[in-house]
Amino acid sequence: MQVTSQTFKSNAGAALRDAALQRALKNLKAGFPGKRAAAIAKLPEFDQLRAAGRDLKNHVLEHLDFYLERFEAKVIEQGGQVHWARDAAEARQIVLDICRSVAARRVTKGKSMISEEIGLNEFLEAHGIQPVETDLGEYIIQLRHEHPSHIIAPAIHLNRDQVADAFHAHHGPYGFTERNEEPRALMNEARQVLRQQFLSADVGITGANFCVAETGATVIVTNEGNGDLTQILPRVHIILASIEKMVPTLEDVGALLRLLTRSATGQEITVYTTFSSGPRRPEDLDGPEQFHVVLLDNGRSGMVGGEFQDMLRCIRCSACMNHCPVYGAIGGHAYGWVYPGPMGSVLTPQLIGIDAASQLPNASTFCGRCEEVCPMHIPLPKMMRHWREREFEQHLSPAGVRFGLSAWAFFAKRPKLYRIAAGFGAWLLRRLGGRKGRIKHLPLAGGWTAWRDLPAPQGQTFQQQWAAQRGARS
Amino acid sequence: MSETSSCSPKPRVGLFVTCLVDVFRPTVGFAAVKLLEDAGCAVEVPAAQTCCGQPAYNSGDRADARDLARRVIAAFEDFDYVVAPSGSCGGIIKRHYPPLFDGDPAWQARAERLSAKTYELVSFLTDVLGVERVIARYPDTVTYHDSCSGLRELGIKSQPRRLLATVADLDLREMAESEVCCGFGGAFCVKYPELSNRMVSEKAAHIQASEAGTLLAGDLGCLLNMAGKLQREGAAIRVRHIAEVLAGMADAPAIGEPDRGDAPCK
Ligand code: SF4
């Protein structure tokens, strides 16, 4: 996937002018936040649960090596295999090798952001293997040759008519020649097309919401049931998981699930919560012959013990982006890589480098709504600020910003001079405001006055007036 | 509250004016002084203050942020309390100064002591001084925007509304999404003007839909942003800092309004 995070500003501008996208984003704002709030209102102990979830994940991160080894041992014990991938390239190669070992031609896929992170679909296609996304949203964007714009609702940027167009363009060969627009009919159409894919796939790939160290099980939550078909029907099941997905016990999964589903969709529990452990046993009715877990690091181990460690608590619920006024205005594609919204603004610079993603942690007002709703108490604004510090230290900030800052700091550190400058500034702006009391156009502040007036100062500064008044009194 | 203030020495309050109030809206500073003095405080305004350092801090320039923080600490640490008519600047001193000095225990201790006695104006009046009512009249319908830092870093939500309820002839009408950011964000509004514009446009729509005659908030940055947008759109809504209304000092022209010829503040 081509990274366009550094053109965030123009991406955002284009998104703001994209009428179809803006229509679709209205649904997001109207949907997720309200559902989350209603679900949480019904759970008085939500805040205790949050604190417990945070502590649990902190504990795991403190002992990550232990839980990873434990998990690996358990998977092997049950006849599965664990593959360690240091980076995206290794992970892709591991998946390709497994596919080739069974001469796979078609791969069905459940929803997985790790698959996006490692660019798996393009890679498999380039090697003659056809990946088929089976999550409805993922399927739609695959037809449109797009990437997800949201971590749990990948096609949230689309409207129904765009979906109808995509189906109409691709489903002819499956016997659907009429253009459907009715949601149920569209769903049905997708279901029938996908069913054929499920039955002919050689390998099924899913993600993992959690990896349970105690049992070696991986867990996914879905609402469509496609994940189950993806992992049960093909001969081989591959799970893509990043290393921070470890949780100690099954009970811990329960606690985190309660946080996850409420924060994500406002559900008490998703329609399907699927645990998979190992390949099919002799007494099992179904299941894959091979069970592979690919554990991806891709820079995460470097976050442990550093100022971005808290980010590894993320359970990918999407609450931060659902409540972010910036995400809500432009959607996910403007962020220019896999992970959008506040969590992406922290994670992306870590995964692809701050020099390729420095726009993202800057594009925030630090309004704090993301941290307020994050079920894992991740201090997202604080970590965005840390990225700005790295950017500043590495002299990556734009020259204009650096110059402006140092000029401002020069005065701010010299109170007497500052008072003179402030007095002059107030006087000048007041003059520019004229009788109207506001400025319609101000050179050097075009970003402001292009869209709004600048209220003019009242006259003298507070300090000038105060000195005159109190000085006269004493 | 008057009992304690009459028999013990008046609490000495250092007013942190904030750079925006200093330049753009001195009335807010004088309103803060009046509210604090009416509540029994001795108010001083250290001349050495400039800015809390937020522009540097939020731009990743830790060295300058620390330097400015040290100056604020030195200028204000002898007061009983430090009060700012801003949740944003108050929040920086209270929540962000201590961690700014990680690895520098001497300054961190001083930052923590300052943090412990620093407050945003309205919450200081209600939560520390126990002020329950103000003597003021404001014959208009008003709507109140919850500025982000005050709301989320300092827990300011009910305090301004409680005091506004005691202003004579004032009728509070809540807008939709009063807790959503107005899009100011300091440097954000000039670094990402289109995004900022979208956010303030939505805010302006909610403000207008409330049908209030006056918009109030506790942070001048947000107020300048919202006033500028409302006025560009030609909306006839007055915009003021809440301190002006609580102090009964709302006779100066509202933010961005033409001068009526009277002296802005005397
Ligand atoms: S950062 Fe928090 S709110 Fe955002 S996706 Fe992760 S867990 Fe959810």
Query: Is B247:B34 a contact under the CB 8 Å cutoff?
Result: yes
Domain CATH number, residue A165: 3.40.50.10420
Residues 6+ apart with CB under 8 A from B121: B32, B35, B36, B83, B84, B85, B86, B90, B218, B243
**pLDDT of the residue at B264:** 39
**What residues of A are in contact with residue B261 (Cβ under 8 Å)?**
none
Could you say which residues from 35 to 94 on chain A have a Cβ atom under 8 Å away from some Cβ of chain B?
none
Nearest to B185 among A365, A453, A463 (CB): A365
**Mean pLDDT value of segment B132-138:** 97
Nearest to A405 among B61, B148, B199 (CB): B61
Structural domains of chain B, with CATH: 12-126 (no CATH), 132-246 (3.40.50)
Q: Are the Cβ atoms of B256 and A369 closer than 8 angstroms?
A: no
**pLDDT of the residue at B3:** 42
Q: Are A181 and A294 in a shared domain?
A: yes
DSSP B12-29: EEEE---HHHHHH-HHHH
Beta strand A130-133 pairing with B81-84: unpaired
- Structural domain contains residue A306: no
Give the other-Cβ count within 10 Å of A402's Cβ.
Answer: 15
DSSP annotation of B10 reads P
Residues of the domain holding A155? 62-301
**What residues of B are in contact with residue A454 (Cβ under 8 Å)?**
224, 228, 256
Nearest to B60 among A385, A435, A451 (CB): A385
Asked if A325 reaches chain B (Cβ–Cβ under 8 Å), the answer is yes
d(CA A233, CA A206): 12
**pLDDT of the residue at A225:** 85
Nearest to A437 among B148, B196, B253 (CB): B253
Q: Are A20 and A67 in a shared domain?
A: no
Instruction: Indicate the SS3 state at residue B76.
Output: helix
Beta-bridge partners for A272: A222
Is the pLDDT higher at A379 or at A436? A379
B27-58 pLDDT per residue, tens: 999 999 999 999 999 999 999 999 999 999 99
Query: Is A314:A379 a contact under the CB 8 Å cutoff?
Result: no
Instruction: Indicate the SS3 state at residue B161.
Output: helix
Confidence of residue A404 (pLDDT cuts 50, 70, 90): confident
Around ligand 1, the residues with Cβ closer than 6 Å are: A 263, 314-320, 343, 374-376, 378
Q: State the Cα angle at A457 between A456 and A460, rounded to 5°.
A: 150
CA distance A411 to chain B (A): 9
The alpha carbon of A216 and the centre of ligand 1 are apart by a number of angstroms equal to 25
Residue B2 reports pLDDT greater than 70: no
d(CA A286, CA A291): 13
- Structural domain contains residue A296: yes
Q: Are A289 and A327 in a shared domain?
A: no
Q: Are the Cβ atoms of A16 and B232 closer than 8 angstroms?
A: no
**pLDDT of the residue at A299:** 95
Residue A246 reports pLDDT greater than 60: yes
**Cα separations (Å) of A293 from A75, A135, A240, A441, B72?**
8, 20, 6, 59, 54
Residue B240: closest CA among chain A residues belongs to which residue? Answer: A455
**pLDDT of the residue at A196:** 87
Domain boundary among A273, A301, A329: A301
Residues 6+ apart with CB under 8 A from A331: A15, A21, A24, A25, A28, A149, A150, A156, A157, A340
**pLDDT of the residue at B262:** 43
What is the Cα Rg of chain B in Å? 18
Which token pair is A436? 């109207």
Query: Is A64:A304 a contact under the CB 8 Å cutoff?
Result: yes
Residue B1 reports pLDDT greater than 90: no
The alpha carbon of A309 and the centre of ligand 1 are apart by a number of angstroms equal to 14
The upper half-sphere exposure of residue A39, i.e. CA atoms within 13 Å in the direction of its Cβ, equals: 22
Which ligand 1 atom is at minimum distance from the Cα of A315?
7
Q: Are the Cβ atoms of B49 and A451 closer than 8 angstroms?
A: no
Chain-centre distance of CA B223, in angstroms?
Answer: 10
**Mean pLDDT value of segment A385-398:** 92
**pLDDT of the residue at B243:** 98
Residues 6+ apart with CB under 8 A from A172: none
**Cα separations (Å) of A128 from A100, A102, A236, A294?**
10, 14, 18, 21
Confidence of residue A397 (pLDDT cuts 50, 70, 90): confident
Nearest in space to B257 (alpha carbons), one of A218, A178, A437, A175: A437
Give the other-Cβ count within 10 Å of A63's Cβ.
Answer: 14
Instruction: Indicate the SS3 state at residue A11.
Output: helix
**pLDDT of the residue at A28:** 86
- Structural domain contains residue A151: yes
Q: State the Cα angle at B112 between B107 and B114, rounded to 5°.
A: 95
d(CA A316, CA A375): 10
Could you say which residues from 448 to 467 on chain A have a Cβ atom under 8 Å away from some Cβ of chain B?
448, 450-463, 465-467
- Structural domain contains residue A311: no
Query: Is A36:A322 a contact under the CB 8 Å cutoff?
Result: yes
**What residues of B are in contact with residue A405 (Cβ under 8 Å)?**
55-56, 59, 61, 64
Confidence of residue A435 (pLDDT cuts 50, 70, 90): confident
**Mean pLDDT value of segment A447-462:** 92
Q: Give, using CA atoms, the residue closest to atom 4 of ligand 1.
A: A320
d(CA B133, CA A360): 44
**What residues of B are in contact with residue A465 (Cβ under 8 Å)?**
26, 30, 265
Q: Are the Cβ atoms of B258 and A435 closer than 8 angstroms?
A: yes
> Which segments of A99-226 are extended strands (E)?
106-109, 130-133, 203-206, 210-212, 217-222
Q: Are A417 and A388 in a shared domain?
A: no
Q: Are the Cβ atoms of B256 and A411 closer than 8 angstroms?
A: no
**Mean pLDDT value of segment A43-66:** 97
Beta-bridge partners for A296: A85, A242
Q: Are A116 and A262 in a shared domain?
A: yes
Domain boundary among A255, A271, A301: A301
Buried b (16+ CB within 10 A) or exposed e, B209-224: ebebbbbbbbbbbbbb
Number of domains, chain A: 3
Q: Are A391 and A426 in a shared domain?
A: no
Confidence of residue A400 (pLDDT cuts 50, 70, 90): confident
Which ligand 1 atom is at minimum distance from the Cα of A318?
5
- What interhelical angle do A341-352 and A380-393 show, nearest 10? 40
Residues 6+ apart with CB under 8 A from A194: A132, A134, A139, A226
Query: Is A140:A166 a contact under the CB 8 Å cutoff?
Result: yes
% helix, strand, coil for chain B, step of 5: 50, 15, 35
B147-203 pLDDT per residue, tens: 999 999 999 999 999 999 999 999 999 999 999 999 999 989 989 999 999 999 999
Q: Give, using CA atoms, the residue closest to atom 6 of ligand 1.
A: A314
Alpha helices in A243-379, H assignment, sequence order: 250-264, 319-322, 325-330, 341-352, 354-357, 359-362, 369-373
For chain A, count helices (H), then strands (E).
23, 12
Is the pLDDT higher at A224 or at A335? A335
Nearest to A405 among B19, B64, B225 (CB): B64
**Cα separations (Å) of A408 from A362, A365, B21, B51, B67?**
19, 20, 17, 10, 13
Ligand 1: residue of A347, A376, A380, A384 to mutate (most ligand atoms within 8 A of CB) is A376
Residue B32: closest CA among chain A residues belongs to which residue? Answer: A462
**pLDDT of the residue at B260:** 64
Could you say which residues from 418 to 447 on chain A have a Cβ atom under 8 Å away from some Cβ of chain B?
418-419, 422, 425-426, 429, 435-438, 440, 445-447
**What residues of A are in contact with residue B194 (Cβ under 8 Å)?**
9, 12-13, 16, 451
**pLDDT of the residue at B266:** 32
Residue B75 dihedral angles phi and psi, to the nearest 5°? -75, -25
Residues 6+ apart with CB under 8 A from B93: B16, B52, B69, B72, B82, B84, B114, B115, B118
Q: Are A392 and A422 in a shared domain?
A: no
Which ligand 1 atom is at minimum distance from the Cα of A380?
1
Confidence of residue A422 (pLDDT cuts 50, 70, 90): very high
Of the listed ranges A123-132, B186-195, B202-211, the one predicted with least confidence: B186-195
The alpha carbon of A372 and the centre of ligand 1 are apart by a number of angstroms equal to 10
Chain-centre distance of CA B219, in angstroms?
Answer: 4
% helix, strand, coil for chain A, step of 5: 55, 10, 30
Q: Are A344 and A393 in a shared domain?
A: yes
- Structural domain contains residue A76: yes
Q: Are the Cβ atoms of A16 and B200 closer than 8 angstroms?
A: no
Residue B263 reports pLDDT greater than 60: no
| A–B interface: beta-carbon pairs under 8 A | 210
Query: Is B54:B84 a contact under the CB 8 Å cutoff?
Result: no
Which token pair is A322? 């659902």
Beta-bridge partners for A211: A218, A246
Q: Are the Cβ atoms of B152 and A369 closer than 8 angstroms?
A: yes
- Structural domain contains residue A406: no
**What residues of B are in contact with residue A461 (Cβ under 8 Å)?**
22-23, 26
Q: Give, using CA atoms, the residue closest to atom 7 of ligand 1.
A: A314
Residue B118 reports pLDDT greater than 60: yes
Q: Are A151 and A296 in a shared domain?
A: yes
Instruction: Indicate the SS3 state at residue A72.
Output: helix
Residue B148: closest CA among chain A residues belongs to which residue? Answer: A367
Is the pLDDT higher at B174 or at B262? B174
Domain boundary among A274, A301, A328: A301
> What mean pLDDT value characterizes chain A?
94
Q: Which amino acid is it at B165?
A: A
Q: Are A295 and A325 in a shared domain?
A: no
pTM metric for this prediction: 0.94
With the C-alpha atoms ordered A45, A46, A49, A55, is the resulting torsion angle positive or negative? negative
**pLDDT of the residue at A29:** 83
Residues 6+ apart with CB under 8 A from A222: A110, A111, A135, A228, A270, A271, A272, A274
B53-78 pLDDT per residue, tens: 999 999 999 999 999 999 999 999 99
Q: Residue B165 — left, alpha, or beta (φ > 0 → left; ψ -120 to 50 → alpha)? A: alpha
Q: Report the percent of chain A where pLDDT is more than 90.
A: 85
- Structural domain contains residue A159: yes
Nearest in space to B218 (alpha carbons), one of B265, B141, B154, B140: B154
- Structural domain contains residue A374: yes
The alpha carbon of A317 and the centre of ligand 1 are apart by a number of angstroms equal to 5
> Which segments of B106-264 are extended strands (E)?
118-120, 137-144, 168-172, 214-217, 238-241
Nearest to B188 among A365, A369, A437 (CB): A365
The upper half-sphere exposure of residue A146, i.e. CA atoms within 13 Å in the direction of its Cβ, equals: 21
Confidence of residue B13 (pLDDT cuts 50, 70, 90): very high
d(CA A221, CA A185): 25
Residues 6+ apart with CB under 8 A from A44: none
Q: Are A434 and A371 in a shared domain?
A: no
Instruction: Indicate the SS3 state at residue A246.
Output: strand
**What residues of A are in contact with residue B227 (Cβ under 8 Å)?**
453, 455
d(CA B137, CA A448): 34
Q: Are the Cβ atoms of B47 and A435 closer than 8 angstroms?
A: no
Q: Are A441 and A342 in a shared domain?
A: no
With the C-alpha atoms ordered A417, A419, A425, A431, is the resulting torsion angle positive or negative? negative
**Mean pLDDT value of segment A173-181:** 91
**Mean pLDDT value of segment B216-230:** 97
Which ligand 1 atom is at minimum distance from the Cα of A317?
8
Nearest in space to B222 (alpha carbons), one of B242, B236, B244: B242
Q: Report the percent of chain B where pLDDT is more than 70.
A: 94
Query: Is A217:A277 a contact under the CB 8 Å cutoff?
Result: yes
> Which segments of chain B are extended strands (E)?
12-15, 42-44, 81-84, 118-120, 137-144, 168-172, 214-217, 238-241
A359-380 pLDDT per residue, tens: 999 999 999 999 999 999 999 9
